[in-house]
A = this chain, B = another copy of it.
């Protein structure tokens, strides 16, 4: 059932039927009702390919997915995706993942824009002076950045959490509890979020005349193994930290293991606070010693970004507005006063 058949059946022109269905004003309400009714009754659905060719709109949002043997898609991604899906579903938006060589995403961005394959894109895990942000900005496709870049000479729309504030709070609490030697086990410091977190910790320490010691900050891909190694290395130092702030729950898993292996205890020998993106399958309250966290649902962020993308596509949102979400600090058993 296509438009031609439907309009013939109603003894109307395609123009009128199309307009009636798309809510244009220049059609009699009585006629519109007839059309809508007939369309429903015959299960007419406009062919998206045709509509796409005519309008250029696709009803899809895009994401360039870095892949490659050496590239691991972050488990955070899936949680973000859940949120995106939550929103997209109720708006019949689909998501197009375009896999790209991690080292050459630019080509893919250009392709999906040139081909008009999607109405908007989002960018995640931005870095300082991120080239993707610059590219997408000049290509002129609607977009939102999940997180922030830095040092770009233009503004852009983003949704981020207050990483600096969160880690500032966490570190401040530890200092207040008497800790003098803090360490930070961070994510890849090429990414802005990690930079912000480190900045937050340093600022909190500086407020009490302390510094983040040389060798007391690690930047690693966030795996359990890296958490273990980093913690082990830290705790075996002569100036071992008495408190660690950690960028991910998965790494915290490794930290806990290292602590145990070394015959130490949490929070007796070491206080630990980690960032929690809220995974349904790994909860800080279920750690053997319940883990204190800075918490922000990455899933909610996904939903929000889908919402903003939809708004941008339909022209409801414009400009380079950035939004920064506050982060909760949730205290559980893994923090205590400094030992000794």
A interface with B by C-beta (< 8 Å)? 45, 47-50, 52-53, 56, 58, 60, 65, 67-69, 71-75, 77-79, 81-82, 84-86, 88-89, 93-101, 111, 114-117, 222-225, 228, 250, 253-254, 257, 260-261, 279-283, 286-288
Contact A73 B81 (CB under 8 A): yes
Report if A281-B222 is in contact (Cβ < 8 Å); known contacts: A53-B53, A81-B73.
yes
Chain B: CB-nearest residue to A62: B94
Q: Which 7 A-B pairs have the closest CB atoms?
A: A85-B99, A67-B85, A89-B99, A223-B281, A72-B280, A78-B78, A95-B97
Chain A interface, >50% SS class: mixed
Cβ–Cβ < 8 Å partners of A45 in chain B: 111, 114-115
Residue of B47, B98, B223, B287 near A94 (CB, 8 A) is B98
Can you tell how many copies of this chain the complex includes?
2
Q: Are B94 and A95 in contact (CB under 8 A)?
A: no
| Contact present for A225 and B286 (CB under 8 Å) | yes
CA distance A287 to B279 in the complex (A): 21
Nearest Cβ in chain B — how far from A167, in angstroms?
21
Looking at the complex, which one of B50, B78, B82, B117 makes contact with A53 (CB distance below 8 Å)?
Answer: B50
Q: Is the CB of A100 within 8 A of B89?
A: yes
* Bound-complex Cα distance A95 to B47 (A): 20
Contact, CB under 8 Å: A96 / B99: no
Complex Cα distance, B93 from A117, in Å, reads 12
Cβ of A96: which chain B residues have Cβ within 8 Å of it? 60, 94-97
Asked whether A69 lies within 8 Å of B49 as measured between CB atoms, the reply is no
Q: State the CA gap A95–B283 with chains docked (Å).
A: 31
Asked whether B283 lies within 8 Å of A224 as measured between CB atoms, the reply is: yes
Contact residue among B71, B100, B228 (Cβ-Cβ distance under 8 Å from A286)? B228
Contact of A115 among B48, B85, B99 (CB under 8 A): B48
**C-alpha spacing A99/B49, complex, angstroms:** 19
- Would you call B72 and A82 a contact (CB within 8 A)? yes
User: Cβ of A86 and Cβ of B99 under 8 Å apart?
Assistant: yes
A74 near B67 with CB under 8 A, answer no
Within 8 Å by CB of A224, from B49, B65, B286, lies B286
Q: Please give 13 more A-B residue pairs, beta carbons under 8 A apart, in addition to A67-B89, A96-B96.
A: A47-B115, A49-B52, A49-B115, A49-B116, A50-B53, A69-B86, A72-B82, A73-B78, A74-B78, A78-B78, A85-B99, A222-B281, A224-B282
Q: Which residues of B contact A68 (CB under 8 A)?
A: 86
> What's the Cα separation between A34 and B68 when bound, in Å?
35
